[in-house]
Structure formats: C-alpha cells, structure tokens
Amino acid sequence: MGRPDTITMSMRELDRCKVIQAVVDDGLMVWRAAEKLGISKRQVERLVLRYREDGPSGLSSRRRGRCSNRQLSPGLESRIRGLIRDSYADFGPTLACEKLRERHGIDLANLAAGTSSDASA
C-alpha cells in the first residue's frame, strides 16, 4: 500500500483536481471549469468547497476501497454457485436465474438491485 500522505486518484480525478486547483489558486472562472470538465457550475462549486475543506484528497472517489453495493453475501453466493453447479450446470444464465427464482425463491435480479427477496428460503 502507499504512504499515509499518498492519495490514489484516477487520471480523470487528477485532471479534475488540476482544473479545480486552477479555480481556487488562479481564479479560473467557474463556468469555464464546468465547461472543461463537462459538469454543471453548481457541481464545480461543490468540488471547490470540498477542495478547500479537504485538499486534493477531497476530490478522490469516496467509494474507493468499499465493496460494491451489488455484491452478494459470501454465504448466499456460495449457495447459489452450488445450486447452479449441481442442478443447472448446462443452463444459460437467464434460464438458471429463472429456475433459482421458481424452485428456490432466490431472485437474483432483486438481489443485484439491492431490494429484498426470499433468499433465505
């Protein structure tokens, strides 16, 4: 891993940081920064505020390092993989998903979207 004072940024975030830094330090107009970044003036103002409060680290993604909100719990994932391996190995993904819903009460579409399901059945 990096040093504590190192910030991980994508190239897009780095470009965004340079433009926001120009707004703060060099007086680049907000509307021109919005034009360069392809975002609204209001969003540039929000980014400038975050930059002033947190520095460049305020512009990096807050989701970095977190699990996806579409990720299944490890127990449920292993159960589903086992069911597919044992009963539906020769099925395509759509048919396997339908059979999981019909026979086992596991609705992968709703699980992936983050809504409730009868996955405990």
Other CB atoms within 10 Å distance of the CB of residue 61: 12
Q: According to the model, what pLDDT value does residue 113 have?
A: 46
Q: According to the model, what pLDDT value does residue 4 have?
A: 61
* CA-based torsion, 84, 87, 90, 96: positive or negative: negative
Tens digits of pLDDT across the chain (121 residues): 455 677 777 788 888 999 999 999 998 999 999 999 999 999 999 999 999 998 888 888 777 777 777 788 888 888 999 999 999 889 888 899 999 999 988 888 766 544 444 444 4
- pTM of this structure: 0.52
Q: What backbone torsions phi and psi does residue 6 show, to the nearest 5 degrees? A: -95, 135
Q: According to the model, what pLDDT value does residue 58 have?
A: 83
The answer to whether 81 and 108 are in contact (CB under 8 A) is no
Share of residues in the chain with pLDDT > 70 (%): 85
Rounded CA separation 70/53 (Å): 31
Amino acid at 23: V
**54 Ramachandran zone, left/alpha/beta (phi>0; psi -120 to 50):** alpha
The answer to whether 19 and 28 are in contact (CB under 8 A) is yes
**What would the two tokens of residue 72 be?**
């299944």
3-state secondary structure of 105: coil
Q: According to the model, what pLDDT value does residue 120 have?
A: 42
Q: According to the model, what pLDDT value does residue 73 have?
A: 82
